[in-house]
Amino acid sequence: MNSKPQSFTILGVDPGSRITGFGLVRVSQGQIVHVSHGVIVMDAGGGFSGRMLELGSAFAEVIGKYRPDHVAIEKIFLGKNADSAFKLGHARGVVMYEALRGGAQVFEYATRLVKKGVTGDGGASKEQVQAVLKALLRIDKINRLDASDALAMACHHAYEMQKKAVVGRAIEL
C-alpha cells in the first residue's frame, strides 16, 4: 500500500490564437498552492502562422521554466464561428505538442465542467470564477480573465487527481 503523499505541479491553459492564459499550481499533501499565472500575448501583426510560432516558442519557455508534471487544457467547443473554432484548435495543438515535448502528461476538460468544479455552477461568469480562485488560492489579484480561466483549469485538475487518489486508497482497503 502506497501511503506516501503525492506532490506534483499542474499547468492550466486557456488557449487562444491571440492570447493564451496559463496558471500553475502545486499540489502537495492535499493542499493546492498558487505558483504563478500570466498570459502569452501574440503579435497581432505576425499573421496567424506567425502567432502560432510565437505561441509555441513562448509556451516552450513556460514549460522549461516550471517543468509541470501535468498540463490541463480546455477542450475544444464549437461555437457559432467555425473559423474561430479552427484557430482555437490550432492553438491547442501547439500547446499540447510543447507540453508533451516537455515531458508533461496532458489532460482535457470542458469549460462548463471546470466552472462547476471550481464554483459549483457550470454557468458561472468568468468574474465569478476569478473571485473564487482569488479566495481559494489566497492571491490578491489576477490581472487577466485568461489567466484566471487557466488557473481554474489547473485547480479543477487538482481536484480530479485528489478524487482519483481517494478512490484508489479505498480500493486498496
Q: Which residues pair with 26 in a beta bridge?
A: 9, 33
Catalytic residue, candidates 74, 98, 149, 160 = 74
Nearest Cα residue to 23 out of 33, 38, 41, 8: 38
How many other C-beta atoms can be found within 10 angstroms of the C-beta atom of residue 72?
Answer: 29
Residue 74 designated active-site? yes
SS3 135: helix
- Within 8 A by CB and 6+ apart from 28, the residues are 5, 7
The three-point CA angle 149-108-68 to 5° equals 75
Catalytic residue, candidates 98, 146, 149, 160 = 146
Residue 83 designated active-site? no
Residue 121 designated active-site? no
Enumerate the active-site residues.
14, 74, 146
